[in-house]
Chains A and B, each alone.
Chain A
Amino acid sequence: MRFDPTLAAVRFGSGLSPIIGPPDNTDAILAEIDDVFAFAIPGYSDADPSISDYQQASMTRTKARGTDQAEATEQAFREVRQAANRVYDQALRSSLARHVGAQIGFKPRLSAFFADHFTVKSRGGPQRHLVTPFVEDAVTPHLNGYFSAMLRAVITHPMMLLYLQQFQSVGPTSTVGKRRNRGINENLARELLELHTLGVDGVYAQADVRELAELLTGLTYNGQRGFFYDERFAEPGAETVLGITYDAADGLDNILHAIDDLAVHPQTARHIAGKIAAAFVADTPDVGLVDAMTAAFVATDGFLPSVYAAMLDHPASWHADLLKIKSPQRFIMSAMRALGVTGDQVDQASGRNTRALFVTPLRVMGQPWERPNGPDGWPEDSTDWISPQGMAGRISWAMTAPRILVQNRLPDPRDFVQTALGSLAGQDVIFAASAAEVRDEGVGVVLASPAFQRS
């Protein structure tokens, strides 16, 4: 089978919408990656408060305890924390709004894919609101460029250095290491090989992890300056990773060279191609499809649009069977889109609705916002999403959230089944939508149906 507009919207975009038509061809899908996202999200250095603002307010408050400044500094800290919470909530809403309001939704899906591939989690209050800004800085600008550029941006981002504890890693014989008796933290080096590039089955050995960890020493950040390279932490001497020797005398350059080399490694090509195919097409994608995407990656040194094009042009991407289960986030976003909710409505949802319609339901469905279990991110396999509790969360949302979202103007379920599913609507769903006693249940049954939950 070849291109189909409904499949294109559902499989590669945010789903069907009563107000935005599906794409006409694969070029339209590819073209979206050059669009600038609506719903601006601040980057790390523009986010207010910064990590150091937050920490300073917290320290000032702690120091003032027991003095006549206690109340004022407590109040000041509370305001900083509330400001951080507002950034967090708004970033969540804007991220969802980008899917709901997108022309197609391919670009926001790619953004979510790479944000997950390079999972960063907050390690506490001062950075809780800065995960989405990390994505905005390090992932979004490179979706239509080279994988190596994205990898450089991710690995040198303060939030990644914090999350995988690179900023605490000290070369044992570096200036600081000798003075303070501190050592290497292998966390980022290991994940860089295992998760970000070669994959767990890659050719690397423990010695490569260790040498790469020594090579990465010096990558650090501070609250004011953000990322910088500090040679006082850097382990002197040459390091050999996957048989290539990098001279420490080059400072940051040798680290970037190693990142570039890893980014274009053939195993990286296969790992990234396979993961993209698994995210969009099938949990276990067709081997020919992954081969074609890998070849495109290798031939272009990891120019990502060529990898996407190889996927969209391959017949194995257009099978009629709906093999993927939408993640809870995808389910919620595509449901809002099907209901005709606009990106602006999502972006401007109240704090109360943010919690009631997004934060809490995502937790119940098993995908709490920005809180996957570990640096390997969310599971991709369908079986990981469909548990009894997850199903209850989905059904419950399908039955109750639409009325709130459309302010009591629920569509007629007999129309909604067509809007939401188009040619994917089977006789069973069409019948169920018409047989419902009340609109809420008719709309809910459509949204809870496998035809809608799959892609």
Chain B
Amino acid sequence: MDRRKFLTRVAALGCSAAASPLVTPVALAQAPWETRLVVIILRGAMDGLDVFRPIGDPDYARLRPTLRQGTMDLTGFFGMNAALSPLMPLWQAGELGAAHAVSTPYRDKRSHFDGQDILEAGRPGLIGSSNDGWLNRMLQTIPGITGETAFAIGRDQQLIMTGDAPAARWSPEAELTLSPQAERLLALVHEADPMFKNASAQAIEIAQSIVMTAASDAEGAEMMMADPMMAAVNTNKEHVQLAEFAAARLRGDTRIASFSVSGWDTHLNQKGGIQNALRRLSDTILTLRAGLGPVWNNTAVLCLTEFGRTAAENGTKGTDHGTGGAMIYGGGALNGGRVLGDWPGLAEADLYNRRDLMPTRDVRAYPAWVMHDLLGISRRAIESSIFPGLEMGSNPGIVA
């Protein structure tokens, strides 16, 4: 690299517009609590039945004639897809679990688009132009949050973090190479315009702080390298870099992060497709765990998808859009090593519309209890504004 060029890989991060970020110092913010919450959206509708497999259900084998190979027994009744074998040590340590037979309130049309909107909005249905997300509404209930408390990471627009509360956004595509001269000239032309001056100064400052974090955070890097579980993780992949970035932020002032892992729409030859997606997910979780180090013990990771898939395999060794599915969770702050939820059974009469796994609980109840038990958010705030229309019901004991 040309020495005179200071190559800044600007990890430009942005603050959500409505939050008037221009007067908020981005660094040096005091976080309101120590616990970390990471929400991963599994876009495309993960087949919960193929990830946490109900091997003890008498109808399972009949419904899934070709999608049963490669199961690791977990509880006798449930087994785990062998593609998640890198996460087996986490299950055994109580740092990985699932909630089964869950869904959002969305029913019947089974559109990814609407399903994801409802999942991220956290509302009972699609309501006109209300376009804020439940993580943002949660932030709105907490005094003292700053621009870096919450981070939406990745190239997709994340409705879940959108809204009136300040939330930062970072896209791996936002890169910027600036020579020192270009940086000076930009500062010169932006000098008289406070809006531009602040925004570009922040972009450059954050970019450099991220570069510096990467360079000087030897502790973090060592932590990652030293972790034997990272041996099989390909750190060049984009999803791993997202998770690394998330971990680096969460080691600092960030307390809430969200991003997406896609590729779950397995209509055809699901075995290979879901293996790839599960590999991405396990890499992501292992990277978070390794990157967070001791902070992992205070961390909750929730992996949510828009809906489940059909109980039966289709004619092409895949599954179609369904209703009930599973939420995967992890982190030292949660009570893993078990599959939560009431199992509805897979007999034809037990299915939703004689087709899909019957949801026995609103999936929102689990993040609701995590927010309640881990972050101390009141039941009233959750049921009235964060998840309108939700009845939290009894405590599932997801928080350790």
Q: Is the CB of B203 within 8 A of A431?
A: no
Find chain B residues with CB under 8 A from A381 CB: 17
8 Å CB contact of B203 from A123, A368, A374, A391: A391
Asked if B219 CB lies within 8 Å of chain A CBs, one says no
Q: Chain A residue with minimal CB distance to B182?
A: A441
- A124 and B185 alpha carbons, distance in the complex (Å): 44
CB interface residues, A 380-439, toward B, < 8 Å = 381-393, 395-396, 399-400, 426, 428-429, 431-432, 435-437
Q: Which residue of B lies closest to A185 (CB)?
A: B126
State A65–B157 Cα separation when bound (angstroms): 34
Inter-chain contact count A-B, CB under 8 Å?
A: 162
Q: Are B316 and A66 in contact (CB under 8 A)?
A: yes
Check A395–B17 contact: CB distance below 8 A: no
Find A444's partner among B20, B114, B130, B182 (CB 8 Å cutoff): B182
Given A374-B131, A445-B185, also A396-B18 (CB < 8 A): no
Among A124, A387, A392, max chain B CB count under 10 A is at A392
Give the segment of B55-63, B79-87, B166-174 that binds chain A: B166-174
Q: What is the predominant secondary structure among interface residues of chain A facing chain B?
A: helix
The segment out of B31-39, B91-99, B187-195, B295-303 that lies at the interface is B187-195
- The answer to whether B128 touches A375 (Cβ under 8 A) is yes
Contacts A387-B14, A388-B203 given; indicate if A395 touches B176 (C-beta within 8 A): yes
Q: Are the C-beta atoms of A360 and B173 separated by less than 8 Å?
A: yes
Assess whether A388 is in contact with B21, with CB atoms less than 8 Å apart.
yes
Q: Does B111 contact A (CB under 8 A)?
A: yes
Question: A interface, how many residues as a size bin?
Answer: 35 or more
Contact B316–A395 (Cβ < 8 Å): no
A432 to B199, CA, bound (A): 19
Residue of B nearest to A74 (CB): B268
Tell whether A449 is near chain B: CB-to-CB under 8 Å: yes
Q: Within B40-60, which residues are at the interface with A (CB < 8 Å)? A: none
Inside 8 A of B20's CB, which chain A residues have their CB?
A: 383
Check if B186 sits within 8 Å of A436, measured CB to CB.
no
Q: A375-B129, A388-B206 are in contact. Are A396 and B316 (CB under 8 A)?
A: no
Task: Report whether B188 and A386 are in contact in the complex, using a CB–CB cutoff of 8 Å.
Answer: no
- Is A384 a contact partner of B173 (Cβ separation < 8 A)? no
Asked if residues B182 and A383 are in contact (CB atoms below 8 Å), the reply is no
Asked if B228 lies at the interface with its beta carbon under 8 angstroms from chain A, I say: no
- A395 and B185 contact, Cβ closer than 8 Å, known pairs A374-B131, A388-B12: no
> How near does chain A come to B379, taking the closest CB pair, in angstroms?
29
Q: Mark A344-385, 1 if CB is under 8 A from B, else 0.
A: 000000000000000010011010100101111001011111
B348 CB contacts on chain A under 8 angstroms = none
Q: Are A396 and B174 in contact (CB under 8 A)?
A: yes
Within 8 A of A (CB), among B1-45: 10, 12-18, 20-22, 26
Tell me whether A448 is interfacial, beta carbon within 8 Å: yes
Which candidate, A31-39, A96-104, A140-148, A187-195, is the interface stretch facing chain B?
A187-195
Q: Is the CB of A395 within 8 A of B186?
A: yes
CB-CB under 8 A from A382, the residues of chain B are 195
Q: Given A383-B17, A388-B202, are A428 and B191 neighbors across the interface (CB < 8 Å)?
A: yes
Contact bitstring A165-207, B, C-beta under 8 A = 1, else 0:
1000000000000000000001100110011000000000000
Chain B residues with CB under 8 A of A379: 17
Among A165, A386, A426, the residue within 8 A (CB) of B196 is: A386
* CB-defined A-B contacts under 8 Å, sample of 15: A62-B267, A123-B111, A124-B112, A187-B128, A364-B155, A373-B159, A383-B195, A387-B16, A391-B196, A392-B14, A392-B175, A392-B176, A441-B179, A448-B200, A450-B193
5 A-B pairs with the lowest CB-CB distances in the bound complex, closest first: A389-B14, A392-B12, A387-B14, A374-B131, A65-B316
